[in-house]
Structure 1
Amino acid sequence: MHRIFGAKKQTDPPPSVQDAADRITKRGDSVEDKIKKLDAELARYKEQIKKTRPGPAQEAVKARAMRVLKQKRMYEGQRDMLYNQTFNLDQVAFAAEGIKDAQQTMTAMKAANKDLKGMMKTVKLQEIDNLQDDMMDLMDMSNEIQETLGRSYSVPDDIDEDDLMGELDALELDMESESQGVPSYLQSEPDTLEDLNLPSAPIGHTAVPGGRANAQSEDELGLPAVPRASLRG
């Protein structure tokens, strides 16, 4: 049958956008190298024109330079055309990559949506509400237990406002006295003769309270002093 109708020719797969862009870029680089060589040749002809006197020789150099310039212009046109093709292929490649990215994004989103639906089936809103209610009840019970355990024992409940104000006034006086360096338990006892409102005694004599001038003297401990004569005997 192949001999009668002939076999199908195997066609090569079409080149990709990147392959076509690489091929065109390679051609553009080759044309660019040719343009550089023509520029070097034109520079050499320019030096020859400067050094050659006007005449047939100079005109011949100008004619060769004109031919090289025309060739350069032709290559420049080809280079620009190739660069434009490369630019178009780059735009196509960018568009193709964008479509591929969109396809991958859609595939990922579909998979994530399926997973979320499966996970949502295992989570029930009513169970979450019940759990929250149970937690609130447990917290309330815990607060009640803490308050019960924190109660004070043997605290009098019959304290009125007058007792409270009197206690606060006494506390304020104690604080003022302690701030002056005098303990509160020593404030009721006089420390000097001036505090007793008694006249000061001369040096070597002991003051006797209540006008008892002939009273027996006392020692430093407040006991009756023993006469010196009895001590000598």
Structure 2
Amino acid sequence: MHRFFGTPNRAPKPTMSDAIAGNETRIASIEVQIKKLDGELQKFKDQMARMKSGPGKSAVQQRALRVLQQKKQYEAQMASIQQQTFNMESTMMTTENLRNTMITVDAMKAANKQMKKEFGKVSFDVLRASLNDEMQDLLEQANEVQEALGRSYAVPDEIDEEELQAGKQISFSFRQPSPTMWFPLRIGRTISFRRE
């Protein structure tokens, strides 16, 4: 028969997220039941407060005890479902962490493999030799450019030794202030720049 019609499509298995969502729905439903039972218990409590002791009060008390027992069962069931939900969330988190760890490990392996491949293309001896030669050439060219730019056009190529000594004396006298140099201040005082 399956040859003619095929097998029916199987429903996909529920995921952990589906199970957690189902538990949360059940918890919400149980909370509604507990609130309803709380309301009934409050009515019984008010009713017993107005009644005198006797068989009528005992009957109300028995009904209140049954409702209280039912409430305790709902609370125990809710606590159990909450624990299941917590366990499933912990499992999901652990699974997600493991998945992320595996992704990281795979990425690191791929990067390591790529680095080895790229380093295999590089010859350090050739690199050192060619870079050193190129750097030396570039530095020499840079020095030539600096010399060309730094050449003075106003100074003659040959300077007499006496002219050079005279120039040094003049520049030295401009740099050294007189030790007895005085400047007047606004308030009438003078200040000395001489070192003591």
Give the equivalent residue in structure 1 for 2:170.
Answer: 167
Q: Distance in 1 between matches of 2:55 and 2:138?
A: 115
Matches within 5 A, 1:90-169: 90-129=89-128, 130-147=130-147, 150-151=151-152, 152-159=155-162, 163-164=166-167, 166-168=169-171
More helix by share: 2
Q: Which moved more, 1:126-135 or 1:92-101?
A: 126-135
Q: State TM-score, norm by structure 1.
A: 0.59
1:89 Cα offset (Å):
1.1
Q: Distance in 2 between matches of 1:169 and 1:147?
A: 27
Change (3 A) 1:41 1:147: same
- Identity within the alignment, %: 33
Structure with bigger gyration radius: 1
Matches within 5 A, 1:1-233: 14-129=13-128, 130-147=130-147, 150-151=151-152, 152-159=155-162, 163-164=166-167, 166-168=169-171
Amino acid in structure 2 at the alignment position of 1:153: P
Number of matched pairs:
174
Amino acid in structure 1 at the alignment position of 2:151: G
Q: Distance in 2 between matches of 1:32 and 1:160?
A: 108
Three-state SS of the structure 2 residue aligned to 1:159 is helix
Deviations 1:158-205, CA, capped at 9 Å, x for gaps: 137863565358768xx99xxxxxxxxxxxxxxxxxxxxxxxxxxxxx
1:113 Cα offset (Å):
2.8
Q: State TM-score, norm by structure 2.
A: 0.68
Three-state SS of the structure 2 residue aligned to 1:44 is helix
Q: Distance in 1 between matches of 2:71 and 2:172?
A: 112
Structure 1: which 5+ runs fail to align?
A: 3-7, 177-233
Q: Which moved more, 1:20-29 or 1:36-45?
A: 20-29
